[in-house]
Amino acid sequence: MHDPQHARLMRLATRAALSVALTLVLAKAIAWWLSGSVSLLAGLTDSLLDSAASLINLIAVHFALRPADEDHRYGHGKAEALAGLGQALFIGVSALLIGLQGIERLQSPQPLEAGGIGIAVMLLSLALTVALLIFQRKVVRETGSTAIHADSLHYRSDILLNSSILIALLLTHFGWLQMDAIFAIGIAFYIFWSAISIVRGAIAVLMDEELPGETTQHMYQLATSVPGVLGAHDLRTRISGTRWFVQLHLELPGEMSLSQAHAHCVAVEQAIHGYYPRAEVLVHADPQEVVRH
């Protein structure tokens, strides 16, 4: 079962992200319509895709938080990784569109109108995005959510994007007309790199990549530190949403009773879960004499 507090934070984070994205879509659309800036159009395109990605994220988190059922014994946590892939697709398309628009405007630079409105909108965008990132960082730190982490990555890239657009608008306002397009192209490359980072993280979850080596080594140490445990082997880990699944074999004296062996297995589960609350631990007991070293 998911921690109710974690579930509440994750739902709040998805709703906050969607609210911020929709607010910025409206603000940037007005500023672009009045100014004609291609870098602002890039920002508008990115915010439109942010809205779509955040909506997918909201749905995915809602699905991922559903408890395990007869058809999904390990829960629905991988829906978060699938949402990450969806976000990466949106972000990649965004980068392509922005790059093409930037190249076109680089060839035909145009002066901007109502540049002051565009600058004001970008300052608003920066303020809202920073506030959202602070909240998302808190949620990821407490829940370890893959989907919220992916969402925060592309909103983190929005900090650079919005800062670049602000600089481009200022430079264009002072007569550097091509800077609007040049910044738009640079933003496109950065956004595309962010999409690749999200894909890597999502694939790691979907392919059941092991937890980091230092984490698994610490789990070995926790298991073998339980009095009466002679050793441990075959530790396997994987991630599904906010949950870690851990399996390992304990080496116990062959003459130990079944009740004692069970008690040791429970003690190891509690030791690992106590240090890593997100871990769901499954322990198998082996008589030491049948273990091959």
The separation between the first and the last C-alpha atoms of the chain, rounded to the nearest angstrom, is: 37
What is residue 293's DSSP assignment? Answer: -
* Residues 237 and 221: beta-carbon distance below 8 Å: no
- The fraction of the chain above a pLDDT of 70, given in percent, is 82
User: pLDDT for 248-270, tens place per residue?
Assistant: 999 999 888 999 999 999 999 99
Question: Domain 213-290, what architecture?
Answer: 2-Layer Sandwich (3.30)
Instruction: Output the pTM of the full model.
Output: 0.55
**Does domain 4-207 fall into CATH 3.10.580.10?**
no
Q: Which residues pair with 252 in a beta bridge?
A: 287
Instruction: State both tokens at 127.
Output: 């303020």
Residue 104 CB-half CA count within 13 A: 11
**Cα–Cα nearest to 198, from 88, 91, 47:** 88
Distance CA(149)–CA(186), nearest Å, equals: 24
* Cβ partners under 8 Å of residue 253, min gap 6: 228, 230, 287, 288
Pairing relationship of beta strands 231-240 and 243-252 according to DSSP bridges: antiparallel
The residue whose two tokens read 């092991």 is 210
What per-residue confidence (pLDDT) applies to 218? 93
Tens digit of each residue's pLDDT (9 = 90 or more) over 53-62: 777 767 766 6
Q: Which tens digit of pLDDT belongs to each residue from 60-101?
A: 666 666 666 666 656 656 666 777 777 778 778 777 877 777
* pLDDT tier for residue 210 given thresholds of 50, 70 and 90: confident
Whether the Cβ atoms of residue 181 and residue 52 lie closer than 8 Å to each other: no
For residue 252, which of 235, 270, 265 has the smallest C-alpha distance? 265
What ranges do the domains of the chain cover? 4-207, 213-290
SS3 for 211?
A: coil
Average pLDDT of the residues in 152-180: 74
What angle, rounded to 10 degrees, do the helices at 146-173 and 179-206 form? 170
